[in-house]
Chains A and B, each alone.
Chain A
């Protein structure tokens, strides 16, 4: 009883491939986030699950039934659009009741469901208003209420919070998460925001370049990214990717500069190393022992981000305690702990604890 995607492909007539061989299993009742940069095909994938876009190849099945050719209404799902898609000529109440009425539920049931849904999103007082009389956050709540009121077991959301300001977004994030848990529905959520993906998801699918890069829990994705792209996509500031050369079985030289001793043996002579900003060690240094120059320092309250350039021009960012003091253009010496990720030349993760990794 889950949603299964098997080798789903999408090609447009002009021959442009949007999605290639997407395979995934979305379990019933889980919060599944599809994340990726703009244009990676994540919305297309969602629309294909909804049935709004035809799939070119592969198979989508919901609860054991192949739905490839089923119209959207027979797939028993609801969708919250990025733009909310509210009917401007209907009141909030009628907007929420719209689908239920169309599906010919009886009057008393419609009323009960709509009122409950409005209560759940705290919109009871505004039920007679028109969408134009609502703020952005309230409009989004109406769109949510519409999904809540429906008896569909799968809810699809296409970047529902992208039109909200930062603070409201965090609030809606929590509300959506709480609603999903309360209702026990399967939620498939599309976003380009890695923070949203990390904070809400049970499982994350990372899409890039029309392909699934990795599917896993937020912790798996962060700790054992399948490749360089996934590593770079999660984490703020992003992971530093630097070139490294093998100097012995268990040691590498990073950026032709500092040495990192590893717990594992390395086979490749040339590789890339991914170092999270908080794994970099930054020290003040005199001109002779320094290997980098501070370019900018951002104060975040409990920590500082130091942006620096190595002598060979490569840029890095490092997180330092907020009481550490660095000036712009100051000479520093950067080194790293051995908690790093190793990638081969093709960007594939070759770090030792790879057996934990759940790959697509």
Chain B
């Protein structure tokens, strides 16, 4: 018996050692980044990372000397609209794929899936030409319209909708709800966790997108935060690394917020008690 216990303890120690190691590898760069954002640029350039001259100056500089607020605003608008568009269109198409019967349903779904196989970079040139022809360049819609929907979102919600107990839909059928009411009152609330997940995913995706926005925006009026960060570096003759680091930290904050808020909803068991 003692032998088994010992082996278990050793196994646990090894597991925790591995976890701590991974945590260090992942978290240390992150903390270095946050830490340096409080240091004066002079200290950073000298490699004096353990300086005690910590202050919020970099943050104040970032907000007062650069258009970072404008970038943040642009990004919030683009990311929020993209998120809601994804939630609306993906859930509607997923509902159709799960609950409606129509001809060639499988074929159309396969078509959806095929678009997932295509890397988005491959479509950049035609997309750019389309956006240009529509006169949307350097405008919010250049970033929003091409990503109003996502095949992945449809796929993910379809999988989730398929798990909705069919009795719930039948109960609603008997009560005389039409498809839109079933969609709104039964399917969406039942799958709210998947919707929150997709929402977070879409928001972060839009927040972190870089390549497409850098192609279609060229003024501060529409530039988003990731491109703005790049802009900070090249606009100045002298790179104020402390301030850039502070801006980078500001950019990460929403990501962390979304994760923390999301975590609250990822508790299991919210749908318990529906059937059986």
Contacts and interface: CB of A to CB of B under 8 A. Distances in A.
Interface in B212-249: none
Contacts of B276: 83-84, 163
A85 B169 CA distance: 9
B174 A88 contact: no
Interface string A19-60: 000000000000000000000000000000011100000000
B171 interface: yes
A78 B276 CA distance: 18
Nearest to A81: B167
Contacts, number: 91
A50 B269 CA distance: 31
B136 to A, nearest CB: 39
A88 B175 contact: no
A74 B178 CA distance: 12
Contact of B272 (A71, A83, A132): A132
A79 B176 CA distance: 12
Contact of A88 (B170, B172, B272): B272
Interface size bracket, A side: 20 to 34
A134 interface: yes
Residue from the set B174, B176, B275 with the largest chain A CB neighbour count within 10 Å:
B174
Interface string B85-128: 00000000000000000000000000000000000000000000
Contacts of B272: 88, 131-132
A132 B275 CA distance: 10
Given A87-B168, A88-B270, A78 B174 contact: yes
Interface in B147-181: 165, 167-168, 170-177, 181
Contacts of B190: 87-89
Contacts of B8: none
A139 B167 CA distance: 15
B51 interface: no
A124 B11 CA distance: 52
A84 B176 CA distance: 18
A72 B177 CA distance: 10
A89 B276 CA distance: 15
A324 interface: no
A134 B174 CA distance: 24
A85 B189 contact: no
A354 to B, nearest CB: 41
A85 B171 contact: yes
A88 B271 contact: yes
A52 B173 contact: yes
A334 to B, nearest CB: 44
A102 B170 CA distance: 14
Residue from the set B175, B176, B186, B192 with the largest chain A CB neighbour count within 10 Å:
B175
Given A102-B181, A133-B273, A139-B273, A77 B174 contact: yes
Contacts of A50: 170, 174
B189 A89 contact: yes
Contacts of A131: 272-274
Interface in A84-103: 84-90, 98-99, 102-103
B192 A89 contact: yes
Contacts of A87: 168, 186, 189-190, 274
A73 B170 contact: no
A130 interface: yes
The 3 closest A-B pairs by CB, nearest first: A73-B176, A131-B273, A83-B275
Given A51-B174, A89-B270, A98-B185, 6 more contacts: A72-B174, A77-B174, A79-B170, A86-B273, A86-B275, A99-B176
